[in-house]
Amino acid sequence: MFLKTTSYLKACVLHRTGTFGQSRGRKGLHDAVLRIHPCVQEALGDGKPVVALESTIVTHGMPYPHNIRMAREVEEIVRRNGSVPATVGVLHGRVHVGLDDTELQFLAEAKDAVKVSRRDLPYVLSQRLSGGTTVSGTIIAAHKAGINIFVTGGIGGVHRGAETSMDVSADLTELGRSPVAVVSAGVKSILDIGRTLEYLETQGVCVASFGGSREFPAFFSPNSGFQAPFMVKDDKEAALLIASALELGLGSGILIAVPIPAEAAASGQEVEEAVQRALREAREQEIRGKEVTPFVLQRVNELTGGKSLEANLALVRNNAEVGSLIAGSLSKLRS
Ligand code: PSU
Ligand code: MN
Given the residues 115, 188, 290, 307, the one annotated as active site:
188
* Protein residue whose Cα sits closest to atom 2 of ligand 1: 154
For the stretch 150-207, pLDDT in tens is: 999 999 999 989 999 999 999 999 999 999 999 999 998 889 999 999 999 999 999 9
pLDDT in tens, 72-104: 999 999 999 999 999 999 999 999 999 999 999
pLDDT at res. 189: 81
- Give the whole-angstrom CA distance, residue 40 versus residue 220: 31
Indicate which atom in ligand 1 lies nearest the CA of residue 115: 11
**Residue 185 pLDDT:** 98
pLDDT, one tens digit per residue, over 237-259 is 999 999 999 999 999 999 999 99
Task: With a cut of 70, say whether residue 220 has pLDDT above it.
Answer: yes
pLDDT tens per residue, range 29-39: 578 999 999 99
- Is position 284 annotated as part of the catalytic site? no
User: How far away, in angstroms, is 61 Cα from ligand 1 center?
Assistant: 7
Instruction: Note the pLDDT of residue 28.
Output: 55
From 42, 54, 75, 174, the catalytic residue: 54
Residue 36: alpha-carbon gap to chain centroid: 17
Q: What is the pLDDT of residue 25?
A: 40
Could you tell me if 171 and 135 are in contact, meaning their C-beta atoms sit under 8 angstroms apart? yes
- Asked whether 84 lines ligand 1 (CB < 6 A), one says no
Measured by CA distance, the residue closest to atom 20 of ligand 1 is: 290
How far, rounded to the nearest angstrom, does the alpha carbon of residue 90 sit from its chain's CA centroid? Answer: 15
pLDDT band for position 12 (cuts 50, 70, 90): low
**Count of Cβ atoms closer than 10 Å to residue 309 Cβ:** 22
Q: How confident is the model at residue 26 (pLDDT cuts 50, 70, 90)?
A: very low
What number is the average pLDDT over the span 20-45?
Answer: 75
Q: What is the pLDDT of residue 3?
A: 44
Q: Is 115 in the pocket of ligand 1 (CB under 6 A)?
A: no
Which ligand 1 atom is at minimum distance from the Cα of 292? 20
Q: Which pLDDT tens digit goes with each residue over 261-317?
A: 999 886 767 887 898 899 999 999 999 889 988 999 899 989 998 888 899 999 999
Check pLDDT > 70 for residue 18.
no
Say whether pLDDT at 5 is over 90: no
Is the pLDDT at 48 greater than 50? The verdict is yes
Phi-psi region of 12 (alpha: psi -120 to 50; beta: other; left: phi over 0): beta
- Give the percent of the chain with pLDDT over 90: 79
Q: Contact, 308 vs 277, CB < 8 A?
A: no
Q: How far apart are CA 82 and CA 162, in angstroms?
A: 41
Residue 132 CA to ligand 1 centre (angstroms):
11
Query: Is residue 188 annotated as part of the catalytic site, yes or no?
Result: yes
**ipTM topping 0.90:** yes
Please tell me which residue, 221 or 330, carries the higher pLDDT value.
330
Q: Does residue 156's CB lie within 6 angstroms of at least one atom of ligand 1?
A: yes
Q: How far is the CA of 135 from the centre of ligand 1 (A)?
A: 7
The mean of the pLDDT values for the chain is 91
User: Which is it for strands 206-210 and 254-257: parallel, antiparallel or unpaired?
Assistant: parallel
Which of the ligands is closest to the CA of residue 219? Answer: 1
Query: What is the atom index within ligand 1 of the atom nearest the CA of 156?
Result: 16
pTM for the model stands at 0.90
Report pLDDT for 20.
Answer: 38
Mutate to test the pocket of ligand 1, among 60, 196, 293, 301 (most ligand atoms within 8 A of CB): 293
Neighbours of ion ligand 2 (CB under 5 A): 167
Tell me: the pLDDT tens digits for 121-134? 999 999 999 999 99
Ligand 1 proximity of 171 Cβ (cutoff 6 Å): yes
User: Is the model's pLDDT at 21 over the cut of 80?
Assistant: no
Q: Is the CB of 153 under 6 A from ligand 1?
A: yes
* Model confidence band, residue 16 (pLDDT cutoffs 50, 70, 90): very low
